[in-house]
A = this chain, B = another copy of it.
Amino acid sequence: MSLPRIAIDAMGGDEGVRVMVDGAAEARRHHDRFKFLLVGDEARIKAALETHPNMRGASEILHCEDVVGGDEKPTQALRRAKTTSMGLAVNAVKKGDAGAAVSGGNTGALMAMSKLALRTMPGIDRPALAALLPTLGDNDVIMLDLGANTDCDARNLVQFAIMGAAYSRIVTGREAPRVRLLNIGTEDIKGTDQLQEAAAQLKAATGLAMQFDGFVEADKINRGDVDVVVSDGFSGNIALKAIEGAARFVTDLLKDAFRSSFRSKVGFLISRPATELLKHHLDPNNHNGAVFLGLNGVVVKSHGSATAGGVANAVKVAARLLEEDLTQRIASDMAALHARGIERTGAGE
């Protein structure tokens, strides 16, 4: 099966053109069927391509010079959707020139442009940003929303659960991924009205391709006993960043501790394979590639400071979602839900 090509916003991200092109080339070394539309300054892209003979014949350049700034407001960026590398990469998906887009640029602008160009899928009110996080179990856990929607109602949360479960079926291979809503306790009475209502709707639903297990607290996200953690974008962003920060905090403390005495330094050198394993497991580049779920097309957000290896992972995420046709999976799950009419319940019972 030939894979639709992937549009790369070569100008987004903190590191510029080279890291994006290096990342695409690295992904292609593992999967030689990948093809690319590289969007950005032609001269710089050509220069970056020189070191990658494996990209010859597999990539086309779409020249543009304009770039969305990291601090730019989404509304401002939207006005330059037709001239910026980000806007043109997303637009290539809309026009069918590419199957998916990958960008390391401004998340808010990417969200706004993707929503405007690709529109939300039938039955989905709002797209959500989803990412994979490592766990103690065999599979990564999917968290969503991570910041696309500050406020969410029960209906949004139910839709996020369905989209997350569809993504998790691809990642875990489970037919009924274990889904939970992020809350500050697991008892029914805990949390906001929206959470309680969403839980009631998901509990009442039958035949959904998920196992809904109620609430989960933020200290249980990485234990490996939940596949999808659903939240509003504010709480999800807080939880994601708190986890990232705490992981860095502990590894920083560990470094300090290992430096605290000669004996510790020797122990560190001997146990280096162990600490390297830890470092590998926690490196965000190995989990790079957040996805906007719920759009008519695949858009993947690469971390602004990702390495070439990180960009390669984001590209692989995009390719996998194309191959497994995530958009179609969500559409059919949503259709099944509509058939049972659960969606029509409002905010109250």
Contact = CB atoms under 8 A, between A and B. Distances in A.
A125 interface: no
Interface in A256-272: 257-258, 260-261, 263-264, 266-272
B246 A238 contact: no
A250 B253 CA distance: 12
A192 interface: yes
A218 to B, nearest CB: 4
A184 interface: yes
Nearest to A217: B241
A63 to B, nearest CB: 31
A96 B38 CA distance: 73
A97 to B, nearest CB: 32
Given A242-B246, A266-B270, A267-B267, A136 B253 contact: yes
B222 A246 contact: yes
Contacts of A251: 250
A267 B264 contact: no
A238 B281 contact: no
Contacts of A277: 257, 260
* Chain A binding surface SS class: helix
A142 to B, nearest CB: 16
A245 B281 CA distance: 16
A206 B268 CA distance: 50
Nearest to A146: B184
A138 interface: no
B278 A151 contact: no
A302 to B, nearest CB: 18
B192 A218 contact: no
Given A184-B233, A192-B151, A254-B254, A267 B271 contact: yes
A54 interface: no
B263 A270 contact: yes
A130 interface: no
Nearest to A182: B238
Contacts of A73: 189
A273 interface: yes
A219 interface: yes
Interface in A270-314: 270-275, 277-278, 281-282
A250 to B, nearest CB: 4
21 contacts: A71-B187, A136-B252, A150-B184, A182-B238, A217-B245, A222-B246, A238-B238, A238-B239, A238-B242, A239-B242, A242-B246, A243-B245, A244-B246, A250-B282, A253-B281, A253-B282, A254-B275, A257-B275, A261-B273, A264-B274, A267-B267
Interface of A: 71, 73, 135-136, 147, 150-151, 182, 184, 187, 189, 191-192, 217-223, 233-235, 237-254, 257-258, 260-261, 263-264, 266-275, 277-278, 281-282
